[in-house]
Amino acid sequence: MLEISRVRLQLENQWTISRNSSYYKDNVIVKFEKDGIVAYGEAAPNNRYGEDADKTIDEIEKASFLLEEDLFQYISLKKKIDKTIKKQNCAKAAIDMVVMDWIAKFYNITLYQYFGLDSAHVPATSFSIGIDRPEMIKEKIQQAYEYPIFKVKLGQKNDEEIINVIRTVTQKPIRVDANEGWKNKETAAKKIDFLLDKNIELIEQPLPSNMNEETAWLKDRFDIPLIADESVNTTKDIPDLREPFDGINIKLMKSGGILEALKMIHLAQTFDLDIMLGCMIETSVAISAAAQLASYARWIDLDGNLLINNDPFSGVTVEAGKLVYSEKPGLGIEELQNNVNRLHI
Ligand SMILES: [Mg+2]
């Protein structure tokens, strides 16, 4: 059985980044059953990458061949999935999660155990604060007092005002994400110069993804980690990022799943690029899937499920910024029965 459902995730607060703003997010959940084992996957379509829920569902439907496949042959199966699902990487991610959830459940261990990883040595996750009026940002920071690190979305004219207002209430480290919002290297340099003495841990995607040369110019001038996000989707993007960036933000929705993310991690390590593990607005399915790889990361930004108020699943949770694993097999998730039906649209 391969069941695809579209779920509308209600955001705790209106979510605004430099590109867009929304009150809800439509994701796609895949439920798969074979030989008595039920496995799940999730796709979080992102319009930055030309994705939407309808197109994603069309792509996932192409993967019905999975029912006939030997899932233990997941390396060759990945090739088949890559050939079949050419668009909508998030659709590929959902199918990849299903396969890996199923495999680890078969062995009755967590997926991180299956990969020989642990859950004890995982850095704290940041909590994201979207773009908002400065007084609202101040309020959100105060509400999120339990988190040790904040990720703040910048890329607007009033970036300085936002940071200044946050610094009136907390001195905790901040990760800045410009989401390609600074449009030229001079603007970015001015912004980074302002940020240098503000206890900023790193800067994500200061410039548009087609400006690697200008980003390398920034890296030469400033001693603060620059992390690629929109500039990196899959393994093939990584060699070009050695010059402009210090690290890469790997997200399952961009990579097309856990197996590709593993390849990316290994290549990035070879190039001495640090790993950040990030997410989109996602339920506990995709967040728990990414969390399986968290011990590889220097920085964790897995808070997508904390930004919604109708998560149809339980899985990894967060206590004072630390990921708490459920220790259930596979991705470690459980469907909340009375929640999910209400969410089908
Ligand atoms: Mg980002």
17 CA → ligand 1 middle, Å: 9
Which domains can be identified in the chain, with CATH numbers?
Answer: 2-109+338-343 (3.30.390.10), 114-335 (3.20.20.120)
Supply the pTM of this predicted model. 0.94
Nearest Cα neighbor of 88 from 53, 118, 113 is 53
The two tokens of residue 330 are 């596979």
326 CA → ligand 1 middle, Å: 27
pLDDT of residue 339: 58
pLDDT of residue 211: 98
How far is 326 from 212, CA to CA, in rounded Å? Answer: 40
Contact 304, 280 (CB under 8 A): yes
How far is 236 from 336, CA to CA, in rounded Å? Answer: 38
pLDDT of residue 238: 98
269 CA → ligand 1 middle, Å: 20
Contact 306, 258 (CB under 8 A): no
Pairing of strands 247-250, 200-204: unpaired
228 CA → ligand 1 middle, Å: 8
Contact 287, 299 (CB under 8 A): no
Mean pLDDT of 6-26: 85
130 CA → ligand 1 middle, Å: 11
204 CA → ligand 1 middle, Å: 6
313 CA → ligand 1 middle, Å: 24
Mean pLDDT of 186-202: 98
Q: Is the pLDDT of residue 341 over 50?
A: no
